[in-house]
Chain A
Amino acid sequence: MPSAWGLSAGLFAATLLGWAVWRVFGGFPHAKRPGLVLAARELAFLAAAADATYPEGGSDLPSGTQAGIPAYADRYVAAVPRSVGILMRLLFFLVEHATLVFSAPGRGGRRRFSSLSPEQQGAVLEGWRTSSLFPRRLVFSSLRAILTMGFFSDPVVLRALHLGAKQIDSPIVEADLLYPAIGAHPRTIAYEREDLVARSGVPLAADAPLHPDHAEQMQ
């Protein structure tokens, strides 16, 4: 039989563990759309980090979540090799939870990044960004790189910055008679020698139509 002291110490330890687990894993909002690979808690962190990095307002550009950064990051993590994806998820975990140990400034600073106020989130990011320790700066730049790639995947952002890709009708060249699209069989090659088209060489006009992926979609 365990002693009464042992029992209460065990109960205390279990409560502490439960509290710690809840602080790390619990209380996240449900993601509206389940991710390809990321869990709801990771998407919630990405939404917070996206809006802390690209807040709403201030210019014609959308906010981080309006630009679809969390969904993009999910797609990106799914596309990279598994080992790299794990590192990225560890990065998200680290920034989300570091404030449980190293408190953010102000009241209630010992909470997960996604639960902090926008001011506190800003202070935390600034701490990572300007740290004298290179690895801390690297954490910031790696996270920001992923968020920025997501931001620039949004056609709204690209159009606002005049960076939308132009429509280019690829000429048919000799090589197109040799290679099928990736994964397809050569019998799917649709071109014959008569289909060869000379390259245009005409500089793209500033007002040339945009590639359909970057053009404004008709409602």
Chain B
Amino acid sequence: MSAAVEGEVRVFAEYERDFTEEADVVVVGSGPCGAVVAHELTARGKRVVLLEEGPPFTPQDFELDGALSMTRMMREAGLRTTRGTIIPTMQTIALGGGSLVNSAICVRPPDFVFEGWEEYAELEGTRRSDLDPHYDAVEAFLGIALTPDELQGQRNLLFRDGCDALGIESEPIARNVRGCRGSGECFTGCRARAKQSMDISYVPAAIKAGARVLTSVQVQEVLSDGRRATGVRGQVVEPFSGRRSHRFRIDAKAVVLAAGCMATPVLLQKSGNLANGSGQVGRNLQFHPGIAVLGIFPEKVDPGFGATQGYQSLAFLREGYKLETLWAPAAILAVRFPGFGHDLKKRLAQVPYAANWDAIATCHRSLGTVRARRGASLDPILTWNFDPEDAQVLGGALYQIARIFFAAGAKTILPGVHGVPDEMHSLEEADVLRTRRYAASDFVTASNHAFCTTRMHGDPAKGVVDPRGRAHEMDGLFLVDTGIFPRCTSVNPMLTGMALAHRSAQAVADEL
């Protein structure tokens, strides 16, 4: 079968046989980065096919239970972890990628982050001022705005109060939402349809402009002819079971990989180690690990209400961490309550009085790898080692969170770290968080911000792509997901991924 209907979306139930299609550009992955590129290229009149392995989720497909939701929306049922230092990391399998489950936090990193990039990776044209027009365009498209007070809920406002009391700068978080109702359930999918995840924002706009969107299709190989990428091939996969069926091939003048920083290097490795003369494909994996602290207040907080993440402080970015408020399904957060038995039940009874705040640390020294498995699976083998100095930074962050909690009036904090008391009732008691020498395994940490596995570098011998995502060694091959970051953004990565992708779209168009 050969189809060339412009502007449509195809779902699993529609595939009946093997097929081949043609396009100017094939984009692999509909997460924030892929969706932006697909839209921008379609808007420039290019024939675009956007391929996504996951299905589109409608509100009736959302599962309220956090853990069961993960089994449907996340790769490896949400239980993907690294070897070396064990850290859980989640990647989504759905139309819209990570934007469907994330907290919609949109932050531009400050100048010094980009100056660091330039110096570290010998780059030109990646200053904040170079990217600002692209940030502007994405922010305008998605209606990104600061979270208003009436949607914050106590859990977020108490953070502001604590920061104010200590003279620490803090601010409401800017988010890609329209009509948020403060349900605090961004993680399991926005039933209010307020979150401007890619499946309800950039992807429909791309379709309207003429893009073809094929869902439930797994790309298994990038096709090439000598130095030129010529398309992709793969198979249809059934939602949730991942059972493979019909084969497909898309021939295109340009291939854009936006499968995410875990999947893109695996695809390149599985395609005959494509674009890897530098040996950097799958190396330099960096996380932005997070750790959360629970605080118990004397008055009710009712933490279930409010923007999932509504307030933040960038005051400690140069020290290596960012502070935020956080909510997630209770079943997942409660895992952080220590102990068991009657003690645990007593603590859980305090949930209505609890707030949960977190720190995410930059961790430039902690590196890992992504490797393809033997056989047909595209799930990566991940390795990562948490550097002791980076672990120490996280300890410092814990102490700052403790300070803010006590300044906001918390009576108890639960730091959730091995080797210190389960509960602390004063800042004096919490001092140990600052002075302790930590081992990586002391923390219950996790990271859904991951980057650098196909990093950009000015020197083709040291990186995979140039600052516009063009593969150094191949023609017609672009990489545009967070894998191309040369280093961690120090803030939440989605917006930067989209801004870079917005810029790359022009480079792709220029090459056609």
Residues of A within 8 A of B (CB): 52-55, 57-61, 75-76, 79-81, 84, 122, 125, 129, 134, 137-138, 141, 144-145, 148-149, 151-153, 158, 160-163, 165-166, 168, 170-171, 173-176, 178-186, 198-204, 206, 211, 213-214
Contact = CB atoms under 8 A, between A and B. Distances in A.
* Most chain A CB neighbours (cut-off 10 Å) among B60, B185, B330: B330
Contact of B56 (A53, A60, A165, A178): A178
5 contacts: A53-B344, A54-B340, A57-B342, A184-B13, A202-B181
Contacts of A198: 179
A55 B71 contact: no
B332 interface: yes
A203 B340 contact: no
B65 A153 contact: yes
A141 B344 CA distance: 13
Given A59-B346, A76-B67, A180-B11, A168 B192 contact: yes
Given A141-B335, A180-B13, 8 more contacts: A84-B79, A148-B334, A152-B331, A161-B348, A162-B351, A165-B183, A170-B193, A181-B58
B207 interface: yes
Nearest to B242: A81
Given A175-B204, A186-B14, A203-B181, A134 B71 contact: no
Interface in B14-70: 14, 55-61, 64-68
B12 interface: yes
A199 B200 contact: no
Contacts of B239: 182-183
A174 B200 contact: yes
B340 A129 contact: yes
Nearest to A54: B345
A176 to B, nearest CB: 7
B339 interface: yes
Contact of A185 (B14, B66, B68): B14
Interface in B151-201: 151, 178-183, 185, 191-194, 199-200
Given A55-B341, A161-B348, A182 B181 contact: no
B345 A149 contact: no
B332 A175 contact: no
A77 to B, nearest CB: 10
Contacts of A166: 183
B76 A81 contact: yes
A179 B95 contact: yes
A79 to B, nearest CB: 4
Given A149-B67, A152-B334, A170 B192 contact: yes
Contact of A149 (B57, B332, B337, B352): B332
Contacts of A141: 335, 444
B348 A61 contact: yes
Contacts of A182: 12, 55-58, 61, 239-240
B179 A54 contact: no
Given A79-B77, A148-B334, A180-B11, A174 B71 contact: no
* Most chain B CB neighbours (cut-off 10 Å) among A58, A80, A178: A178
Contact of A61 (B61, B86, B329, B349): B349
Contact of A179 (B56, B182, B329): B56
B418 interface: yes
* Most chain A CB neighbours (cut-off 10 Å) among B151, B180, B345: B345
Contacts of B180: 201
A206 B304 CA distance: 10
A161 B351 contact: yes
Contact of A173 (B193, B329, B330): B193
Contacts of B77: 79-81, 84
B341 A122 contact: yes
Contact of A213 (B64, B179, B329, B441): B64
A166 B192 CA distance: 11
B11 A204 contact: no
A138 B302 CA distance: 30
B124 interface: no
Nearest to B65: A153
B331 A186 contact: no
A200 B331 contact: no
Nearest to B60: A181
B305 A53 contact: no
Contacts of B429: none
Nearest to B350: A161
Interface in B64-116: 64-68, 71-72, 76-77, 79, 86, 95
A200 B194 CA distance: 9
Nearest to B352: A162
A76 B69 CA distance: 10
Nearest to A188: B13
A125 B418 contact: no
Given A58-B345, A176-B58, A214-B64, A168 B13 contact: no
B9 interface: yes
A155 B191 CA distance: 19
Contacts of B207: 178
A80 to B, nearest CB: 4
B511 interface: no
A55 to B, nearest CB: 6
B71 A76 contact: yes
Contacts of B67: 76, 149, 153
Nearest to B150: A203
Nearest to B241: A81
A162 B72 CA distance: 26
A201 B351 contact: no
* Most chain A CB neighbours (cut-off 10 Å) among B67, B183, B185: B67
A138 B331 CA distance: 18
Contacts of A151: 331, 334
Contacts of A184: 11, 13
B9 A55 contact: no
Given A153-B65, A179-B58, A186-B14, A59 B349 contact: yes
Contacts of A52: 340-341
B182 A204 contact: yes
